[in-house]
Structure 1
Amino acid sequence: MSVRLFRRFLFWTHLVIGLAAGALVFIMAVTGVLLTYQKQMTVWADLRGLDGAPPAAGLLALPADTLLSRVAASRQATPTAIVWREGANTPVEVQFGRESRVFANAYTAEELGTGSATMRGFFRQVTDWHRWLAAKGDTRDLGRAATGAANLAFLLIVLSGMWLWWPRNLTWASVRSVTWFRRGLSGKARDFNWHNVIGFWSAIPLVIVVASGVVISYPWASALVFRVAGEAPPARAAAGPAAPDRPAGAIPGALQPRLAVAKAQMPNWRTISLTLPTKPHADASFALDRGMGGEPHKRATAVITTEGQVSELQSFASQSPGRRLRSILRFAHTGEVLGVFGQTLAGLISLGSAVLVVTGITLSLRRLRAWLRRRSSPALL
């Protein structure tokens, strides 16, 4: 096949896949923009206006066990997790299942608020659209399959677009026309210019964002990551019976000394979270984070026994190459692996993707209208 025929084949493949998956890709791109700063906005909304300062100077924070017991008694429910954030005046978050939480003063256990239901509800809806098109119940698997297929299709579109972008005549004028925005254009010329320029500047990060989305969507893609790293993919955990509920009011003991040991493993921590053990004398697994929440190289897990001994300390560096690569790709999808800069870049890439879909569809419709006009015009003698 000649280069010309291959380019023609690639163009029509690019166009057909784009039209077929365009609507789904547009939804995922727009929701991706809305989710750009989800973590920061949620924490800001939850803690806004809450004063977690000590009521008197020199007052020490309550031991974790005492704090949990008081909050549990006040709420008449058993906590499932607790989150500490840096800052002497920052409230402690006590969770009751996945959806219920209360923020308490670390010095008095006084309840300060339950978080922003509005902000959390908004992001929950956006996330549902992004992951499975807001499908509910039994149709959720179908929605997940649709977004996964759209992600894979978009990856093919991006890769083929990188080839199609390359100018046929490699001159400065031709390169400049597809790498920089031109003023005064309208209609087809404007859409063509925008489609090429945005595609050019976003190509490499867009491949990373979309390819990592494929890895998240498909087990075979996730397994491929481990094989590329030279190791066997981990076995998928079989769904087992749900963990038994902890008896009401039963708070695991010796949490405060274990918390102190966990803090010592990462002195510059920003967040420490603990999912409370279901058994009173079980080891406690503390998740330590010195980043924004999505930077795997700044996270670690410390398992502390009831005697205060570190039975396991797992950091990013201690993981296998496959797990490190898989973890990086997970947060490359949102850009969080590079902190706020990466989040911003991913948000801009998502916005650019939405424009690529719109300009691609309009260019296709113009091509279709021109073809129909030619078909309907009488043959010239």
Structure 2
Amino acid sequence: MSFKRTIFWSHLVIGVAFGLVILMMSVTGVLLTYERQIVTFLENRMVERPEGFRPLGIDALAAKALENGAQPGNSLVISNQDGAAARISVSRRENYLLNPYTGDRIENAAQDAKAFFRTLTSLHRWFALTGESRAAGKAVTGAANLGFLFLLASGLYLWWPKSWKWRIVRTNLLFRRNLPTSKARDYNWHHVFGIWALVPLFAVVLTGVVISYPWAGTAVTAVFGPADPAHAGRSAGGPLQARQGKSDGFTSLQEIADTIARQEPAWNTLSIKLPRDKAARVLVTADTGNGVQLSRQTTYAVARTSGEILDITRPEDQSSGRRAQVFLRFLHTGEVYGVAGQTIAGLGSLAAVFLFYTGFALAYRRLIQPVFRRRIAGSTS
């Protein structure tokens, strides 16, 4: 058997073996494409604006949050969008919303949508299994990711034309009309969807392998180094101070936020870590991206008494390991490149659905249909 034929049969067998799992991950991947935007839209619809009320200042909002259970060290996240809910971030996974006009906690914001997306994510990662069964589900999806990675590599090898003449290349690069059979159509579609979705699917699947397997994460650490905390930051280079607004010897959070906003006029959110009583500084992270793009986040340390910016931690001040870790995590969803990246990742997952359909149709004709024909022929003879 020739090497190319060996690759072909390996491609076919692995595709059949993992096809249904890959289909499940692809369909859920498509449905999860715009999760962040959908949830944010529904959350902001929950904000009730009492007649005559204006958005609270940051100090009043912080005080209200502390009254309602927030703790020093939690982050108060303010959006630059008019009327958008404020957020108290307790940890990476735990947060809740505040009405920006009253400071009251918004209960059950977009609860149904969040539950729907949590179920989809659980299905995508481990078939929505629970308890000890979850590890088994995760092992299967991880193996399917590895299998899909092989399918992409072997598919490119099988697609590669013997001659790079346009007349030959276009047959597997562009959709063809008026093909004589459904088999010819499926063959054409399989090649076209495969080559056009190759790059986004490779990025999605490779990062899926890194997420699935500790050894893959260890390899990333070996190349880029550990995900150490950020360095101490760099001096601001001069006294950048809030203008006024001191209370009890401290500059107001509003004035501190205004100072940072002047430094980052394109900010989308400001994340203010609620200071403890005797804390000498306040940490404020200005995000000009979508919340997960580390390259668009800058953290300022501001003196509480003077309002002076003491130091600045920019993305390049983060360790290479930390930047690689965040990049790979959100490359999987495309979010690292914003809405455009999400759209490309979603279209890649949609292409994988068509690859499943056309691949299984071709495998059926090659493996199953001949068996039926032989049996029918035997029964009639």
Report the TM-score, using the length of structure 1 for normalisation: 0.79
Q: 2:136 and 2:262 mapped to 1: Cα distance?
A: 46
Please tell me whether the aligned partners of residues 85 and 97 of structure 2 are also in contact (alpha carbons under 8 angstroms). no
Q: 2:320 and 2:130 mapped to 1: Cα distance?
A: 36
Name which of structure 1's ranges 304-313 and 134-143 shifts more when overlaid on structure 2: 304-313
Deviations 1:265-287 (A, max 9, x none): 5332101235657x654565444
Q: 1:375 and 1:255 mapped to 2: Cα distance?
A: 84
Q: 2:22 and 2:136 mapped to 1: Cα distance?
A: 16
Q: 1:173 and 1:60 mapped to 2: Cα distance?
A: 64
- Residues 70, 220 of structure 1: CA spacing in aligned structure 2 closer, same or farther, 3 A cutoff? same
Deviations 1:4-25 (A, max 9, x none): 7111111111111111111111
Q: Does 1:344 align with 2:343?
A: yes
1:29 paired residue number:
26
Q: Does 1:198 align with 2:193?
A: yes
1:125 paired residue number:
119
C-alpha displacement at 1:50, in angstroms? 2.7
Q: Does 1:323 align with 2:325?
A: no
1:136 paired residue number:
130
Amino acid in structure 2 at the alignment position of 1:332:
L
Q: 1:195 and 1:54 mapped to 2: Cα distance?
A: 58
Q: 1:232 and 1:344 mapped to 2: Cα distance?
A: 31
The correspondence for 1:155, drawn from 146, 149, 153, is 149
Amino acid in structure 1 at the alignment position of 2:270:
I
Unmatched 5+ residue regions in structure 2?
230-249
2:294 paired residue number:
296
Amino acid in structure 1 at the alignment position of 2:211:
I
* Identical residues among aligned pairs (%): 37
* Equivalences for residues 82-121 of structure 1 within 5 A: 82-94=76-88, 98=93, 101-106=96-101, 108-110=102-104, 114-121=108-115
- Residues 69, 232 of structure 1: CA spacing in aligned structure 2 closer, same or farther, 3 A cutoff? closer
Please tell me whether the aligned partners of residues 37 and 343 of structure 1 are also in contact (alpha carbons under 8 angstroms). yes
Deviations 1:115-136 (A, max 9, x none): 2111111111111111222121
| DSSP-derived class of the 1:137 partner | coil
Deviations 1:2-56 (A, max 9, x none): xx71111111111111111111111111111111111111110111263558936
2:245 paired residue number:
none
| DSSP-derived class of the 1:70 partner | helix
C-alpha displacement at 1:84, in angstroms? 0.8
Q: 1:144 and 1:305 mapped to 2: Cα distance?
A: 46
1:48 paired residue number:
45
Deviations 1:197-231 (A, max 9, x none): 10011112221221122222223223323444xx4
Deviations 1:120-156 (A, max 9, x none): 1111111111122212123223222222221121111
- Residues 227, 189 of structure 1: CA spacing in aligned structure 2 closer, same or farther, 3 A cutoff? same
Amino acid in structure 2 at the alignment position of 1:126:
L
Q: Does 1:362 align with 2:372?
A: no
- CA-based RMSD: 3.2
- Residues 104, 96 of structure 1: CA spacing in aligned structure 2 closer, same or farther, 3 A cutoff? farther
| DSSP-derived class of the 1:341 partner | helix
1:243 paired residue number:
none
Please tell me whether the aligned partners of residues 275 and 285 of structure 1 are also in contact (alpha carbons under 8 angstroms). yes
C-alpha displacement at 1:374, in angstroms? 7.3
- Residues 112, 285 of structure 1: CA spacing in aligned structure 2 closer, same or farther, 3 A cutoff? same
Amino acid in structure 2 at the alignment position of 1:205:
P
Deviations 1:48-97 (A, max 9, x none): 263558936xx673343x32443454x5x445543210034333234577
C-alpha displacement at 1:367, in angstroms? 0.7
Q: Does 1:181 align with 2:175?
A: yes
Please tell me whether the aligned partners of residues 68 and 94 of structure 1 are also in contact (alpha carbons under 8 angstroms). no
1:240 paired residue number:
none
Deviations 1:215-258 (A, max 9, x none): 22223223323444xx434589xxxxxxxxxxxxxxxx977265
Q: Does 1:232 align with 2:222?
A: no
- Residues 364, 121 of structure 1: CA spacing in aligned structure 2 closer, same or farther, 3 A cutoff? same
Q: 1:263 and 1:180 mapped to 2: Cα distance?
A: 49
